[in-house]
C-alpha cells in the first residue's frame, strides 16, 4: 500500500478556516472520488512559527495515486467547489509517498 503524506504551510491566521474547508468540503469530495483519506488535521507544532496542517491518503499503487489525483484535481467538483478555500491559505505544500503495510495505515487512521 502507498501512503501519501502531504504537509501544508499556511499564511498566519488561516489554519482554522483551512481545516474547516478541508474537513467539511474537500475531504467529502475526495471520498466521493474514491480517494482514501486516512487522517488530516493541524500540526502539533509550528515550525519556524508557521501554521501548518497535514493530510494522509492511502492508495493501492503509485499509478492509482496519480490517476485518482489527476481525475480529482481536474474535476468540476474541485475546481468549482472548495479549491479556492484550500489553495488561498497555502504558502506551500509538500508531499511524500512511502510504501507502507496496510496494517500500519489502518493504525494511523483517525476520525475525520
pLDDT, residue 46, reads 81
Long-range contacts of 60-68 (CB under 8 A, 24+ apart): 60/1, 60/2, 61/2, 62/2, 62/97, 64/2, 65/2, 65/4, 65/97, 68/33, 68/34, 68/35
* pTM for this model (two decimals): 0.92
Q: Provide the CB-side half-sphere exposure for 58 (13 A, CA).
A: 16
Average pLDDT, the chain: 95
Write down the pLDDT at residue 109.
Answer: 95
Q: For residues 67-93, give the mean pLDDT.
A: 95
Q: What is the pLDDT of residues 1-28, one digit of tens each?
A: 999 999 999 999 999 999 999 999 999 9
Amino acid at each position: 500500500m502507498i501512503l501519501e503524506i502531504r504537509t501544508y504551510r499556511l499564511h498566519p491566521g488561516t489554519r482554522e478556516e483551512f481545516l474547516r474547508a478541508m474537513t467539511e468540503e474537500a475531504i467529502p469530495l475526495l471520498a466521493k472520488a474514491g480517494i482514501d483519506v486516512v487522517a488530516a488535521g493541524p500540526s502539533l507544532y509550528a515550525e519556524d512559527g508557521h501554521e501548518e496542517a497535514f493530510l494522509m491518503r492511502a492508495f493501492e499503487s503509485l499509478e492509482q495515486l496519480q490517476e485518482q489525483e489527476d481525475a480529482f484535481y481536474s474535476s468540476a467538483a474541485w475546481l468549482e467547489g472548495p479549491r479556492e478555500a484550500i489553495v488561498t491559505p497555502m504558502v506551500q505544500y509538500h508531499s511524500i509517498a512511502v510504501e507502507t503495510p496496510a496494517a500500519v495505515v489502518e493504525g494511523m487512521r483517525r476520525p475525520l
